[in-house]
Amino acid sequence: MPEIAEMYQQMGIRPSVLGLGRRTEEGLAERFRKIDETAEFNQLKVISAMQKNRVNEACFHYASGYGYDDLGRDTLEKVYADVFHTEAALVRPQITCGTHALALALSANLRPGDELVSVAGKPYDTLEEVIGIRPSRGSLAEYGVTYSQVDLLADGSFDFEKIKNAVTDKTKLVTIQRSKGYQTRPSFSVAQIGAVIEFVKKIKPEVICMVDNCYGEFVETMEPSDVGADLAVGSLIKNPGGGLAPIGGYIAGREELIENCGYRLTSPGLGREVGASLGVMQSFYQGLFLAPVVTASALKGAIFAANIYEALGYSVVPDSSESRHDIIQAVEFGRPEAVIAFCQGIQAAAPVDSYVTPEPWAMPGYDSDVIMAAGAFVQGSSIELSADGPIKPPYAVYFQGGLTWPHAKLGILMSLEYLVRAGIVTV
């Protein structure tokens, strides 16, 4: 199709870059077909949950005030519970982000004297302050909840031997992070998560198993709650919001545990009965409806990038052929100019703020300058195509998202175009 090639050229992609993209994409046909099949399965799962719960136009109405009997909110929570095959779910705009959802699930279900155990090594950065690994005001540690951690083995797998010793009388809740986040370990498959949950439950059946499901939703046909997780937790400005949810988080799991989350989110006595949905319901429903296909687009982008940059000689995590359990892709460039060019290319391909040139900057919470590329409709949304790179060795960029495959593809081609223009890569 010469017209498409012309469009790419008009947008600044040179023919040799497009050519490499074409050849790479052709080699990925079979993997993309499998991703589409997963999306098809998950699309059916979401639609059946919506049909079963008789989602209707009244669910989209604006609700304000206390929000008693908010039909849209209550129905959506049933839809989520059916998608995740759990007894209940809490899905609210009052849950401000993924960290908040996780903090809520933990603080709602732990009491002074209880111990929290992470069996997947160090948790996501922001959780360190929630737990109190880094001293922080309001942390679980301040409320007398202790913490222990079982590091992963050198190959990134669970250390079952050590887990056996870590789960004790005091252990109330075990947390498992599905995605590697911004670490270099592999992400866990749902089957691996199921195996560790089974192991933990054999030691202590009553222990609550919680999975940080961020970035993992709809990547596979099963979710952690299908393999024994008592709680699955995530953010709506990642996969399950489908790019449309402007805020929010979810917790899906056992009724009693979700009820505790309700009391913690609002107030003892009030629980899930209050919390008006404030007009965001249509975007929550429609975003969930789109999420399987949006997640598939982001996955295709991650695999496409892994294949392009690995072929150019860079180290990529996950590598070009590994199976995928989340949507994050890391590329190690080994030099700062490459990180900068990559991020500037991603930015230049964005639908929003494409004319902005991102530069490395000192950011709170980071020990080096960081460059961030994000031309998103929803601020900070990482299901939209976005990238960031700390300016320090090994000079890696982490990128994720892409609401549509053509946009993810354009972004990655543009990143390569910028690397070629900077004289870092020759194609």
Ligand X SMILES: *Cc1c(COP(=O)(O)O)cnc(C)c1O
What's the closest the beta carbon of residue 332 comes to ligand X, in angstroms? 19
Of 28, 87, 126, 421, which lies in the binding site for ligand X, with binding defined by CB under 6 A?
A: 126
Of 53, 139, 146, 177, which lies in the binding site for ligand X, with binding defined by CB under 6 A?
A: 177
- Which amino acid makes up residue 326? D
What's the closest the beta carbon of residue 352 comes to ligand X, in angstroms? 19
Is 250 an interacting residue with respect to ligand X (CB under 6 A)? no
Nearer to ligand X, 98 or 292 (CB): 98
Of 21, 72, 93, 98, which lies in the binding site for ligand X, with binding defined by CB under 6 A?
A: 98
Question: Rule CB under 6 A: which of 332-351 touch ligand X?
Answer: none
Is 186 an interacting residue with respect to ligand X (CB under 6 A)? no
Question: Rule CB under 6 A: which of 55-84 touch ligand X?
Answer: none
DSSP string for 272-315: GG----TT-HHHHHHHHHHHHHHHHHHHHHHHHHHHHHHHTT-E
Q: Choose the binding region for ligand X from 8-16, 177-185, 290-298, 329-337 (rule: CB under 6 A).
A: 177-185
Nearer to ligand X, 82 or 384 (CB): 384
Contact 251/105 with Cβ under 8 angstroms?
yes
What's the closest the beta carbon of residue 215 comes to ligand X, in angstroms? 5
d(CA 120, CA 98) in angstroms, rounded, equals 18
DSSP string for 166-215: H--TTEEEEEEE-S-TTSSSPPPPHHHHHHHHHHHHHH-TTPEEEEE-TT
Nearer to ligand X, 236 or 425 (CB): 236
What's the closest the beta carbon of residue 201 comes to ligand X, in angstroms? 23
Is 214 an interacting residue with respect to ligand X (CB under 6 A)? yes
What's the closest the beta carbon of residue 230 comes to ligand X, in angstroms? 18
Is 179 an interacting residue with respect to ligand X (CB under 6 A)? yes
Quick one: which of 194, 232, 228, 195 has its CA closest to 212?
A: 232
Is 183 an interacting residue with respect to ligand X (CB under 6 A)? no
Q: What is the 8-class DSSP label of residue 415?
A: H
d(CA 55, CA 71) in angstroms, rounded, equals 10
What's the closest the beta carbon of residue 195 comes to ligand X, in angstroms? 19
Quick one: which of 30, 1, 39, 26 has its CA closest to 308?
A: 26
Which of helix, strand or coil describes residue 70?
Answer: coil
d(CA 310, CA 337) in angstroms, rounded, equals 18
Residue 394: cis peptide before it, omega within 30 degrees of 0 = yes
| Residues 391-420: x where in contact with ligand X by CB under 6 A, - otherwise, as a string | ------------------------------
By CB under 6 A, the count of residues binding ligand X is 12
Is 97 an interacting residue with respect to ligand X (CB under 6 A)? yes
Reading phi first (left if > 0) and then psi (alpha if -120 to 50, else beta), residue 424 is in alpha
Beta-bridge mates of residue 388: 372, 398
What's the closest the beta carbon of residue 373 comes to ligand X, in angstroms? 17
Is 181 an interacting residue with respect to ligand X (CB under 6 A)? yes
Quick one: which of 226, 247, 231 has its CA closest to 110?
A: 231
The residue whose Cβ lies closest to ligand X is 98
Beta-bridge mates of residue 149: 118
Is 215 an interacting residue with respect to ligand X (CB under 6 A)? yes
Place of tokens 């009491």: 111
Contact 186/324 with Cβ under 8 angstroms?
no
| Residues 127-166: x where in contact with ligand X by CB under 6 A, - otherwise, as a string | ----------------------------------------
Q: Choose the binding region for ligand X from 94-102, 150-158, 162-170, 311-319 (rule: CB under 6 A).
A: 94-102
Of 60, 84, 124, 188, which lies in the binding site for ligand X, with binding defined by CB under 6 A?
A: 124
Q: What is the 8-class DSSP label of residue 90?
A: E
Quick one: which of 221, 210, 214 has its CA closest to 171?
A: 210
266-273 long-range contacts, CB within 8 A, separation 24+: 266/94, 272/77, 272/90, 273/68
What's the closest the beta carbon of residue 309 comes to ligand X, in angstroms? 21
Nearer to ligand X, 127 or 338 (CB): 127
Q: Choose the binding region for ligand X from 24-32, 175-183, 194-202, 273-281 (rule: CB under 6 A).
A: 175-183
Nearer to ligand X, 277 or 386 (CB): 386
Interface residues toward ligand X, by CB under 6 A? 97-99, 124, 126, 177, 179, 181, 212, 214-215, 235
